[in-house]
Amino acid sequence: MKVFKFGGASVNSVERIQQMARIVKEHHQQPLVIIVSAMGKTTNALEKVAEAFYAGKKDEALQLFNVIKQQHLTTAKYLLVTQFNACLAQLSDFFTEVEWLLHDKPVRGFDYYYDQVVCIGELLSTAIVSHYLAETGLANEWLDVRDIIRTDSHFRSANINWGYTTAKTLDAIEAQPGALYVTQGFIGATDENESTTLGREGSDYTAAIFANILDAESLTIWKDVEGVMSADPKAFPDAQFLAALSFNEVIEMAYYGAQVIHPKTIKPLQNKGIPLHVKCFLNSALPGTVISSKAVKNLPPIVVVKNNQVLLHLRSQDFSFIGEAAVSRLYTLFSELNIQPSLIQTGAISLQVCLDNRADKIEQLAAAASAVFDVQLEKELSLLTIRHYNAAILTAMTAGKEQVLVQQTKQTVQVLYK
C-alpha cells in the first residue's frame, strides 16, 4: 500500500487534474490511497463565505458561495461526459449542505461555522477527481473521510481519536491488488457528526494518519516544486533544493513555520519508519526529496520567515520573579486556547511571547493573562528563523531591520523584527 497526497495546486485546473490522473496511472501497480486537497484557492474563498455569514451578511455569503459552486460545476463539465450526471448529483448534495447552514443565523462560535463551511472544499474536489479517474478507466472508491477520522470538538485544529480512526480506516480500506481509494485531507468529524478541520495545510497530516494506520510502504506528497527547498522559492529565488532530510530536521523546520510540511505530519511516519517523498507534480520523473530516519549532514542554511506576528510583553505585577506557577498558568492558557507560540523568552520578572496574529485568540490570551501579568502588545512584526546559520547569512538577512528580540542556539537563530 502507498499513500499519495495531492495539494490544491495539483487540482486547480482541468489540465492539472488530467496530469494527476496520469501520475496515478503510472503508479497503480499496487494499492493506492489518494488524499486530495481543495482546488486552488477554494479554501480561502470558503473562509470569506464563513466570515460573511458570521457577520450577519447572509446574501453576501450566498453570493460568494455561488461563485465557488459555478467554478466547480464548470470544471466538472470540461472533464466529464459519462460520469457527469453522477458527479453533479454528488456535488449538489454538498452545495445543499452549505446553503442550508447559510440560511440560518449563527448561534455558536466562529470556529464551528468555519469548519462546517470550509470542509466542503475537499468534498467537492474529491468528488470531481473520483469521477474523472473512473471516466479514464481507473475504478476507485470515494470515501467521506468524516466517516473515518474521528476528532474532538476543537474546531479549526481538532485532535484525532486514534482508536476509533484506526478501526474505521482498517474497516474501510483493504490493500487488495488494484485497490484505489480517493478521500479528503484536512477534515474529520466529532461524535455528533459535526465537521472539523485539522488546521491549515492539514491534508499532509491526514495522509500521514492513513500511512501510519495502513503500515504504508511510503507516503508521497505531490507539489508544484522540485522538492523541499532551503527557503520559500517565491520569496528567495536562490533557495537550494534539498535531496534528503531527516525526520528530526523536518519537524524542526515545521515547528518554526516552514510551509512545506504540516507540523503534525512527521510523528505518525517516524513512529513506524515510513519514508516521506516530496515529488514534483509537474515532472514526476524528477527524484524529489526523501525524508526518513537517516541523518543528513552538511545542510545549507534553511530560512523560514513568518509575517504578521505579535509580541506579548508579560511583566510581573508585583516585581516578583517569574516562577513556576506563572509559567504553568501561561502554558495552561496556551492549551485552553489552542495556541502554539512561535517563540518564548523568559527574564527575571518578565516573559515575552511571539504568536501568529489571530486577533480573536490574542485578545482572549491577553485578557486571561492580565489576571497574572501586566500585558502589552506589539504588532506588525516578522519572525526570521535560520537553521544551520552562519555569520554571513545572518548579517545579510537582518541588514536594515529593527531587531526587537533575538534568540540563538548553536543550530538555530531567531530574530523578531519590524
Q: Name the binding residues for substrate.
A: 43, 122
- Hey, CA dihedral for 242, 244, 246, 251, is it positive or negative? positive
**Residues 246 and 261: beta-carbon distance below 8 Å:** no
Angle 267-364-47 (CA atoms, 0-180°, nearest 5)? 65
- Binding-site annotation, residues for ATP: 5-8
Q: Alpha-carbon distance 244 to 263, whole Å?
A: 18
Exposed, middle or buried, 93 (CB in 10 Å: 0-12/13-18/19+)? exposed
Q: Which three cell numbers stand for residue 170?
A: 482498517
Q: Alpha-carbon distance 190 to 165, whole Å?
A: 11
Residues with Cβ within 8 Å of 20's Cβ and at least 6 positions away in sequence, in order, are 6, 10, 11, 129, 222, 281
**Residues 114 and 48: beta-carbon distance below 8 Å:** no
Closest Cα to residue 362, out of 308, 304, 418, 306?
A: 308
**Residues 147 and 189: beta-carbon distance below 8 Å:** yes
Instruction: Measure CA of the first residue to CA of the last residue in the chain; give whole Å.
Output: 48
Q: Which three cell numbers stand for residue 145?
A: 473521510
Q: Which three cell numbers stand for residue 58?
A: 447572509
Query: What is the per-residue DSSP string for 72-139?
Result: HHHHHHHH-STTHHHHHHHHHHHHHHHHHHHTS---S-HHHHHHHHHTHHHHHHHHHHHHHHHHTT--
